[in-house]
Structure 1
Amino acid sequence: MYNTSEVKTADKLIREQLVELLKGGFAPNVILLREFTFDKAGVILDGLHFSAWILLGHIHGRHLTLLNFMKDPANNLDVWPEAPWPENHNPENEQEWNAAIDSYEKDLAEMMALVQNPAYPLFEIQQNGKTFSWAALTALHHTGYHIGQLKTIGRQLGVW
């Protein structure tokens, strides 16, 4: 059996590691997005149905669904609704591209702040059977998958 200090240490460690992974681990998501140049954000490569702009909108849309559940679970129980995909494949201008990254970064920071808060009930089961830790893990998994696609597109376009 674990003593109270071991449980507190494990809880803190899990929260710290979850935040590290939400950031993107060794390849932070926001840094990769900021490195992706605006002039290539709307390019759809042959064989794909999305651009970097579409991926960013999709990542952020899903992230918001999960964040809203974490902030107000009683009113946001549907944690996996129809996937949000932007209709336009290209940002209108560089300011829109940067604003979208800023908005995602702000919402990511909000999720990380919740996870870091030792008083936040990360493992409490909600009415839909999910936990906030599940939501955070889902956000990092979903984002990681699509960031990998974005990184591949960027390599093909000469961003990296």
Structure 2
Amino acid sequence: MAEVDIPHSLIREHMVELLRGGFAPNVILLREFHYDKAGILLPGLHFSAWILLGHMQARQHTLLQFMKDPLSNLEIWPDAHWPPNHEPPTAHEWNTAIDAFEQEQEEMVQLVQNPSTDLFQVYPNGKTLAWAAMTTLHHNGYHIGQLKTVGRQVGVW
């Protein structure tokens, strides 16, 4: 089987699209989610939209820190952070959390888009910056799907 040479620019473009959520844009869906429904715990679930956002933001933050300074942030999969409270204290805190999530998502996008970022250098933990970006897009995609399902059940969409 012949090896295919895919331009790094195309890989970067695809990663950026998926980091932002692809056909389910993360930040748009979060901003559409009504604050007054962000704390609802549905029967049988251990998470609300607020809990999902906090969990996503914490994992994304950890992976972004690795991407910004890999050698100082080799611990990339600490215990999962799940916020202890299921609802945002105020609408302002809900919106501030979304802003922080978006800002860090865009920082990661900028790193991926930068041609001088070596996405494929292997660090002492065996990981690459490409791995961190793909892990982020996969993790956020999984939880955005949960958020979308919760949102449908509580009448957001």
TM-score under structure 2 length normalisation? 0.96
Q: Say whether residues 1:14 and 2:11 are aligned partners.
A: yes
Aligned to 1:41: 38
Q: Say whether residues 1:59 and 2:52 are aligned partners.
A: no
**Rounded Cα–Cα distance in structure 2 between residues aligned with 1:107 and 1:84:** 17
**Rounded Cα–Cα distance in structure 2 between residues aligned with 1:128 and 1:121:** 16
Aligned to 2:152: 155
| % identity of equivalent residues | 63
Aligned to 1:88: 85
CA deviations over 1:87-139 (Å, ceiling 9, x no partner): 11111110000000000000000000000000001111111110000000000
**1:75 CA drift (Å):** 1.4
CA deviations over 1:50-96 (Å, ceiling 9, x no partner): 10000000000000010000011111111111001111111111000
**Rounded Cα–Cα distance in structure 1 between residues aligned with 2:28 and 2:112:** 21
- In structure 2, list runs of 5 or more residues that go unmatched: none
Q: Residue type of the partner of 1:78?
A: E
Aligned to 2:109: 112
**Rounded Cα–Cα distance in structure 2 between residues aligned with 1:129 and 1:86:** 29
RMSD (CA atoms): 1.4
Aligned to 1:140: 137
TM-score under structure 1 length normalisation? 0.94
Partner of 1:104, secondary structure, is helix
Report the number of matched residues.
Answer: 156
After superposing on structure 2, the runs of 4+ consecutive aligned residues of structure 1 that deviate more than 6 Å are none
- In structure 1, list runs of 5 or more residues that go unmatched: none
Q: Say whether residues 1:50 and 2:47 are aligned partners.
A: yes
